[in-house]
Amino acid sequence: MILDCKVIEDLLPLYLDNVCSDTSKQLVGEHLKECEDCRRLINTTQVVGVPHFEPERPAVDNAVRKGLKRIRFRWWASILIVIIIVPMVFLGWNQYHGRGVHFTNIYELQIGNAFMKYLDEGNYEKAYSYIDIAGLKQEWLKRWFDEEKLKNIEADGLAKFCELGAKLEEHGGIQGYEYVGISHYGHDNDGTPIYQMIFKVNYAGKETLFDIMVSNDGIEYFSGNGSFKTDPLAQFAIWSEYLWQDYEGCYYDPDLNEYVYPNK
Protein backbone atom coordinates (compact mmCIF):
# COMPACT_ATOMS: atom_id res chain seq x y z
CA MET A 1 0.00 0.00 0.00
CA ILE A 2 1.36 3.45 -0.96
CA LEU A 3 0.69 6.10 1.68
CA ASP A 4 0.74 9.84 1.21
CA CYS A 5 3.74 11.63 2.76
CA LYS A 6 1.33 13.73 4.84
CA VAL A 7 -0.08 10.56 6.39
CA ILE A 8 3.44 9.31 7.13
CA GLU A 9 4.32 12.67 8.66
CA ASP A 10 1.31 12.32 10.97
CA LEU A 11 2.32 8.79 11.93
CA LEU A 12 6.00 9.59 12.56
CA PRO A 13 5.53 10.76 16.20
CA LEU A 14 3.74 7.50 17.03
CA TYR A 15 6.31 5.53 15.04
CA LEU A 16 9.20 7.21 16.82
CA ASP A 17 7.60 6.67 20.23
CA ASN A 18 6.95 3.04 19.29
CA VAL A 19 3.27 3.32 20.26
CA CYS A 20 1.71 2.59 16.88
CA SER A 21 0.47 -0.82 15.81
CA ASP A 22 2.67 -3.37 14.10
CA THR A 23 0.79 -2.82 10.86
CA SER A 24 1.46 0.94 11.00
CA LYS A 25 5.11 0.28 11.78
CA GLN A 26 5.37 -1.94 8.73
CA LEU A 27 3.66 0.62 6.46
CA VAL A 28 5.84 3.47 7.70
CA GLY A 29 8.98 1.37 7.35
CA GLU A 30 8.16 0.37 3.76
CA HIS A 31 7.40 3.98 2.87
CA LEU A 32 10.67 5.22 4.33
CA LYS A 33 12.60 2.75 2.16
CA GLU A 34 11.09 4.30 -0.95
CA CYS A 35 10.71 7.97 -0.01
CA GLU A 36 13.85 10.10 0.26
CA ASP A 37 11.98 13.16 1.60
CA CYS A 38 10.53 11.24 4.53
CA ARG A 39 13.86 9.60 5.24
CA ARG A 40 15.47 13.03 5.35
CA LEU A 41 12.75 14.14 7.73
CA ILE A 42 13.24 11.23 10.11
CA ASN A 43 17.06 11.30 9.86
CA THR A 44 17.18 14.95 10.78
CA THR A 45 14.87 14.47 13.75
CA GLN A 46 16.80 14.59 17.01
CA VAL A 47 15.44 11.43 18.51
CA VAL A 48 17.65 8.83 20.19
CA GLY A 49 17.43 5.38 18.68
CA VAL A 50 15.92 6.46 15.36
CA PRO A 51 17.31 4.19 12.64
CA HIS A 52 19.25 5.73 9.76
CA PHE A 53 18.00 4.49 6.39
CA GLU A 54 20.30 4.26 3.38
CA PRO A 55 19.38 3.08 -0.06
CA GLU A 56 20.34 -0.52 -0.63
CA ARG A 57 23.21 -1.12 -3.06
CA PRO A 58 22.27 -3.33 -5.95
CA ALA A 59 23.48 -6.89 -5.53
CA VAL A 60 25.14 -6.69 -8.94
CA ASP A 61 27.59 -4.03 -7.61
CA ASN A 62 28.81 -6.41 -4.91
CA ALA A 63 29.16 -9.21 -7.43
CA VAL A 64 31.24 -7.03 -9.78
CA ARG A 65 33.40 -5.89 -6.89
CA LYS A 66 34.06 -9.45 -5.78
CA GLY A 67 34.79 -10.49 -9.36
CA LEU A 68 37.35 -7.74 -9.82
CA LYS A 69 38.98 -8.67 -6.53
CA ARG A 70 39.34 -12.28 -7.69
CA ILE A 71 40.81 -11.14 -11.01
CA ARG A 72 43.38 -8.94 -9.26
CA PHE A 73 44.33 -11.78 -6.92
CA ARG A 74 44.81 -14.23 -9.80
CA TRP A 75 46.80 -11.66 -11.77
CA TRP A 76 49.24 -11.06 -8.91
CA ALA A 77 49.46 -14.79 -8.25
CA SER A 78 50.42 -15.35 -11.90
CA ILE A 79 53.10 -12.66 -11.69
CA LEU A 80 54.57 -14.23 -8.55
CA ILE A 81 54.60 -17.65 -10.18
CA VAL A 82 56.53 -16.26 -13.15
CA ILE A 83 58.99 -14.45 -10.88
CA ILE A 84 59.66 -17.50 -8.71
CA ILE A 85 59.13 -20.55 -10.89
CA VAL A 86 60.89 -19.46 -14.09
CA PRO A 87 64.27 -18.72 -12.41
CA MET A 88 63.98 -21.95 -10.42
CA VAL A 89 63.45 -23.95 -13.60
CA PHE A 90 66.34 -22.14 -15.30
CA LEU A 91 68.73 -22.77 -12.39
CA GLY A 92 67.58 -26.38 -12.05
CA TRP A 93 68.14 -27.05 -15.76
CA ASN A 94 71.66 -25.63 -15.59
CA GLN A 95 72.34 -27.55 -12.38
CA TYR A 96 71.35 -30.81 -14.06
CA HIS A 97 73.57 -30.16 -17.09
CA GLY A 98 76.40 -28.71 -15.00
CA ARG A 99 76.74 -25.49 -16.95
CA GLY A 100 75.99 -21.79 -16.66
CA VAL A 101 74.52 -20.19 -13.55
CA HIS A 102 72.94 -22.71 -11.17
CA PHE A 103 72.18 -23.25 -7.50
CA THR A 104 75.71 -24.20 -6.41
CA ASN A 105 77.68 -21.40 -8.08
CA ILE A 106 75.53 -18.32 -7.38
CA TYR A 107 77.82 -17.30 -4.50
CA GLU A 108 80.92 -17.64 -6.70
CA LEU A 109 79.19 -15.56 -9.36
CA GLN A 110 78.62 -12.80 -6.81
CA ILE A 111 82.29 -12.88 -5.78
CA GLY A 112 83.50 -12.66 -9.37
CA ASN A 113 81.18 -9.78 -10.23
CA ALA A 114 82.15 -7.85 -7.10
CA PHE A 115 85.85 -8.35 -7.91
CA MET A 116 85.38 -7.02 -11.44
CA LYS A 117 83.32 -4.09 -10.20
CA TYR A 118 86.14 -2.85 -7.97
CA LEU A 119 88.80 -3.42 -10.65
CA ASP A 120 86.71 -1.34 -13.02
CA GLU A 121 86.47 1.41 -10.38
CA GLY A 122 90.22 1.30 -9.76
CA ASN A 123 89.65 0.30 -6.13
CA TYR A 124 92.40 -2.34 -5.93
CA GLU A 125 92.43 -2.52 -2.15
CA LYS A 126 88.76 -3.52 -2.13
CA ALA A 127 89.25 -5.91 -5.04
CA TYR A 128 92.12 -7.57 -3.13
CA SER A 129 89.74 -8.38 -0.27
CA TYR A 130 88.15 -11.01 -2.56
CA ILE A 131 91.47 -12.79 -3.22
CA ASP A 132 91.83 -16.20 -1.53
CA ILE A 133 95.11 -15.21 0.10
CA ALA A 134 94.71 -17.90 2.77
CA GLY A 135 94.57 -20.58 0.08
CA LEU A 136 97.64 -19.12 -1.63
CA LYS A 137 99.52 -19.17 1.67
CA GLN A 138 98.67 -22.82 2.31
CA GLU A 139 99.85 -23.77 -1.17
CA TRP A 140 103.18 -21.98 -0.71
CA LEU A 141 103.69 -23.46 2.75
CA LYS A 142 103.45 -26.93 1.23
CA ARG A 143 105.81 -26.26 -1.65
CA TRP A 144 108.08 -23.31 -1.07
CA PHE A 145 108.29 -21.43 2.21
CA ASP A 146 107.94 -21.77 5.96
CA GLU A 147 105.52 -20.01 8.28
CA GLU A 148 108.07 -17.38 9.31
CA LYS A 149 108.67 -16.33 5.71
CA LEU A 150 104.94 -15.93 5.06
CA LYS A 151 103.88 -14.36 8.35
CA ASN A 152 103.07 -11.05 6.60
CA ILE A 153 101.75 -12.45 3.34
CA GLU A 154 98.37 -10.67 3.62
CA ALA A 155 100.00 -7.21 3.83
CA ASP A 156 102.79 -8.08 1.37
CA GLY A 157 100.22 -9.43 -1.08
CA LEU A 158 98.12 -6.26 -0.81
CA ALA A 159 101.16 -4.06 -1.44
CA LYS A 160 102.17 -6.01 -4.56
CA PHE A 161 98.58 -6.18 -5.84
CA CYS A 162 98.12 -2.41 -5.47
CA GLU A 163 101.59 -1.68 -6.91
CA LEU A 164 100.78 -3.51 -10.14
CA GLY A 165 97.25 -2.06 -10.08
CA ALA A 166 98.71 1.45 -9.97
CA LYS A 167 100.87 0.61 -13.00
CA LEU A 168 97.76 -0.62 -14.78
CA GLU A 169 95.94 2.63 -13.94
CA GLU A 170 98.82 4.64 -15.45
CA HIS A 171 97.88 3.00 -18.75
CA GLY A 172 94.18 3.78 -18.38
CA GLY A 173 93.09 0.79 -16.30
CA ILE A 174 90.03 -1.32 -17.07
CA GLN A 175 87.36 0.91 -18.59
CA GLY A 176 84.19 -1.15 -18.51
CA TYR A 177 83.49 -4.86 -18.52
CA GLU A 178 80.81 -7.31 -19.62
CA TYR A 179 79.98 -10.72 -18.17
CA VAL A 180 80.23 -13.51 -20.77
CA GLY A 181 79.68 -16.77 -18.88
CA ILE A 182 80.60 -19.18 -16.11
CA SER A 183 81.52 -22.86 -16.21
CA HIS A 184 82.92 -25.53 -13.90
CA TYR A 185 86.70 -25.56 -14.13
CA GLY A 186 87.88 -28.14 -11.61
CA HIS A 187 88.53 -28.60 -7.89
CA ASP A 188 90.94 -27.17 -5.37
CA ASN A 189 93.30 -29.40 -3.38
CA ASP A 190 90.65 -29.85 -0.70
CA GLY A 191 87.93 -30.68 -3.24
CA THR A 192 86.37 -27.22 -3.36
CA PRO A 193 84.76 -26.58 -6.78
CA ILE A 194 86.42 -23.90 -8.90
CA TYR A 195 84.50 -22.02 -11.59
CA GLN A 196 85.84 -20.12 -14.54
CA MET A 197 84.18 -16.78 -15.16
CA ILE A 198 84.82 -15.02 -18.46
CA PHE A 199 84.50 -11.28 -18.97
CA LYS A 200 85.07 -8.89 -21.83
CA VAL A 201 86.99 -5.84 -20.66
CA ASN A 202 87.75 -2.57 -22.38
CA TYR A 203 91.43 -1.86 -22.00
CA ALA A 204 93.88 0.30 -23.94
CA GLY A 205 91.23 1.20 -26.48
CA LYS A 206 90.31 -2.35 -27.34
CA GLU A 207 88.21 -5.23 -26.08
CA THR A 208 89.94 -8.27 -24.61
CA LEU A 209 89.00 -11.36 -22.61
CA PHE A 210 89.63 -11.58 -18.88
CA ASP A 211 89.31 -14.90 -17.02
CA ILE A 212 88.72 -15.36 -13.30
CA MET A 213 89.00 -18.64 -11.41
CA VAL A 214 86.78 -18.41 -8.35
CA SER A 215 85.66 -20.71 -5.54
CA ASN A 216 83.56 -20.07 -2.46
CA ASP A 217 86.83 -19.11 -0.73
CA GLY A 218 87.40 -16.22 -3.13
CA ILE A 219 89.41 -15.46 -6.26
CA GLU A 220 91.97 -18.23 -6.82
CA TYR A 221 93.72 -16.50 -9.73
CA PHE A 222 92.93 -14.59 -12.92
CA SER A 223 94.49 -13.96 -16.30
CA GLY A 224 94.48 -11.34 -19.03
CA ASN A 225 95.67 -11.53 -22.60
CA GLY A 226 98.87 -9.75 -23.56
CA SER A 227 102.63 -9.92 -23.25
CA PHE A 228 104.10 -10.34 -19.78
CA LYS A 229 107.06 -8.24 -20.96
CA THR A 230 105.17 -5.10 -21.91
CA ASP A 231 101.44 -5.34 -21.08
CA PRO A 232 100.48 -3.98 -17.62
CA LEU A 233 97.20 -5.94 -17.68
CA ALA A 234 99.01 -9.24 -18.23
CA GLN A 235 101.57 -8.29 -15.57
CA PHE A 236 98.84 -7.37 -13.10
CA ALA A 237 97.19 -10.76 -13.66
CA ILE A 238 100.33 -12.54 -12.39
CA TRP A 239 100.77 -10.36 -9.31
CA SER A 240 101.24 -13.47 -7.13
CA GLU A 241 104.16 -14.57 -9.35
CA TYR A 242 105.92 -11.28 -8.63
CA LEU A 243 105.15 -11.73 -4.92
CA TRP A 244 106.64 -15.25 -5.07
CA GLN A 245 109.79 -13.84 -6.70
CA ASP A 246 110.15 -11.32 -3.87
CA TYR A 247 109.98 -14.10 -1.28
CA GLU A 248 112.26 -16.33 -3.31
CA GLY A 249 114.80 -13.54 -3.83
CA CYS A 250 114.84 -13.76 -7.62
CA TYR A 251 113.37 -12.32 -10.79
CA TYR A 252 112.41 -13.81 -14.11
CA ASP A 253 114.49 -12.83 -17.14
CA PRO A 254 112.32 -13.24 -20.26
CA ASP A 255 115.33 -13.06 -22.54
CA LEU A 256 117.14 -15.86 -20.73
CA ASN A 257 113.80 -17.59 -20.08
CA GLU A 258 114.89 -18.41 -16.54
CA TYR A 259 114.94 -17.13 -12.99
CA VAL A 260 117.91 -15.06 -11.95
CA TYR A 261 119.13 -15.06 -8.33
CA PRO A 262 121.22 -11.91 -7.84
CA ASN A 263 122.52 -12.96 -4.41
CA LYS A 264 123.65 -16.42 -5.46
Grade residue 78 by pLDDT with cuts at 50, 70 and 90.
Answer: low
Percent of the chain past pLDDT 90, that is, above it, reads: 35
Predicted pLDDT at 106: 77
| Distances from the Cα of 242 to the Cα of 122, 237, 245, angstroms | 20, 10, 5
Q: In this predicted model, what pLDDT tens digit does every residue of 39-69 receive, in sequence order?
A: 777 666 544 344 444 445 555 555 556 555 6
How sure is the predictor about 187, in pLDDT bands with cuts at 50, 70 and 90? Answer: confident
- Cα separation, 215 vs 226, whole angstroms: 25
pLDDT tens readout for residues 248-260: 999 888 888 889 9
Mean pLDDT over 146-157 rounds to 95
Residue type at position 48? V
Mean pLDDT throughout 129-138? 93
Question: Do the Cβ atoms of 95 and 104 come closer than 8 Å?
Answer: yes
Evaluate the CA torsion angle 110, 116, 122, 127 in order and state its sign. Answer: positive
Report phi then psi at 87, rounded to 5: -60, -35
pLDDT at 225: 77
DSSP state for residue 4 in the 8-state scheme? P
Closest by Cα among 244, 219, 220 to 126: 219
Span 189-207, average pLDDT? 86
Query: What local confidence, expressed as pLDDT, does residue 180 receive?
Result: 87
Assess contact for 242 and 160: CB atoms under 8 A: yes
pLDDT on residue 46: 41
Instruction: Please report which helix (H) or strand (E) contains residue 220, including its range.
Output: strand 218-224
Strand spans (E) along 103-192:
174-187
Q: How confident is the model at residue 108 (pLDDT cuts 50, 70, 90)?
A: confident
Rounded-to-integer distance, Cα 44 and Cα 40, Å: 6
The whole-number average pLDDT for the span 80-85 is: 53
pLDDT at 43: 66
Question: Residue 190: pLDDT band by 50, 70, 90 thresholds?
Answer: confident
Mean pLDDT confidence for 186-193: 78
Q: Give bridge partners of residue 219 from the DSSP assignment.
A: 131, 214
User: Could you give the CA distance from residue 236 to residue 122 in angstroms, rounded to a whole number?
Assistant: 13
- Per-residue pLDDT tens over the stretch 211-249: 999 988 899 988 877 778 889 999 999 999 999 999 999
